[in-house]
């Protein structure tokens, strides 16, 4: 698999790791092996311009790099000579500890994956070329991330469905959110279950049956 340099912030990037190879004259030469075995996050010093490997990454940076690696595995694999195999993709809340800028990038990349999946379901109006993603499941409890991923797809009922997973009294339930299309009574249309986190809490408040989760929901509403 080949990863292009990816900006982490203004002074950092993800690059192919190198081996330090001693030379006959006593100097050390940095050589990138082929195929690439590892990658490194390097940061450029603003004063000297020297690049050095970052030793300590934040939790958000680690999650971002892990997502980029996962995305490249979805789009290809470890060997560029092999054909891309059909895939079912499951993405479970990839944005913990990410700032809003990084979350925006991750949301945009996931929407790109959705377009590949769309080509498998709808044979018209393709935005991207390829249909190797046959199905994609996206799970999250982050309302902002949910909005970034879904805001263009609420009306795409022919290949997108919205579900709400709730756990009440230690029992989980999965509810499909749709309704009759007022313009076409014989068809159904999507209903996005998450408008924002505040509205979602009030929906939970009206449905919860136990006092313990009710107290937690009330506290979060007040906060």
The answer to whether 44 and 54 have CB atoms below 8 angstroms apart is: no
> Which whole number is the average pLDDT over 2-17?
59
Indicate if the pLDDT at residue 125 is higher than 70: no
pLDDT at 188: 83
Which span out of 2-6, 31-35, 136-140 was modeled with the highest average pLDDT?
A: 136-140
User: Which DSSP helix (H) or strand (E) runs through 223?
Assistant: none
% helix / strand / coil in the chain, to the nearest 5? 30, 30, 40
pLDDT at 47: 81
Going by pLDDT thresholds of 50, 70 and 90, the confidence category of residue 137 is very high
The pLDDT tens digits of the residues spanning 164-215 come to 888 878 888 888 888 888 888 888 888 887 766 677 777 777 777 777 778 8
The residue ranges of DSSP E strands in the chain, in sequence order, are: 6-9, 12-16, 19-22, 28-31, 39-44, 51-53, 87-92, 133-139, 163-168, 171-176, 178-181, 184-190
> Which whole number is the average pLDDT over 114-128?
78
- The percentage of the chain sitting over the pLDDT mark of 70, rounded to a whole number, equals 88
CA 12, 34, 13 angle in degrees (round to 5)? 5
Mean pLDDT score of the chain, rounded to an integer?
81
Going by pLDDT thresholds of 50, 70 and 90, the confidence category of residue 10 is very low
Indicate if the pLDDT at residue 141 is higher than 70: yes
Comparing CA positions, the residue from 120, 124, 125 lying closest to residue 136 is 120
Query: How many whole angstroms separate alpha carbon 108 and alpha carbon 114?
Result: 10
Asked if the bond preceding 35 is cis, omega within 30° of 0, the reply is yes
pLDDT at 92: 92
Indicate if the pLDDT at residue 1 is higher than 60: no
User: What length does the chain have?
Assistant: 223
């Amino acid at each position: 698999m080949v990863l292009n340099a990816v900006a982490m912030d203004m002074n950092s990037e993800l690059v192919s790791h190198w081996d330090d190879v001693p030379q006959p004259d006593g100097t050390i030469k940095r050589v990138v092996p082929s195929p690439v075995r590892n990658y490194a996050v390097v940061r450029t010093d603003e004063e000297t311009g020297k690049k050095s490997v970052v030793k300590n990454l934040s939790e958000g940076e680690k999650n971002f790099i892990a997502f980029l690696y996962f995305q490249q595995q979805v789009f290809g694999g470890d060997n560029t000579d092999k054909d891309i195999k059909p895939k079912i993709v499951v993405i479970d809340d990839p944005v913990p500890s990410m700032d809003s800028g990084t979350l925006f990038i991750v949301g945009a990349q996931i929407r790109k994956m959705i377009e590949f999946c769309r080509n498998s379901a709808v044979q018209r109006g393709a935005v991207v070329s390829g249909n190797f993603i046959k199905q994609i499941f996206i799970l999250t409890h982050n309302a902002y991330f949910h909005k970034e991923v879904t805001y263009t797809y609420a009306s795409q009922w022919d290949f997108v469905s919205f579900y709400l997973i709730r756990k009440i009294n230690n029992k989980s339930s999965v509810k499909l959110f749709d309704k009759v299309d007022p313009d076409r009574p014989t068809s159904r249309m999507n209903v996005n279950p998450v408008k924002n986190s505040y509205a979602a809490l009030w929906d939970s408040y009206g449905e919860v049956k136990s006092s313990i989760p009710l107290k937690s929901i009330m506290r979060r509403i007040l906060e």
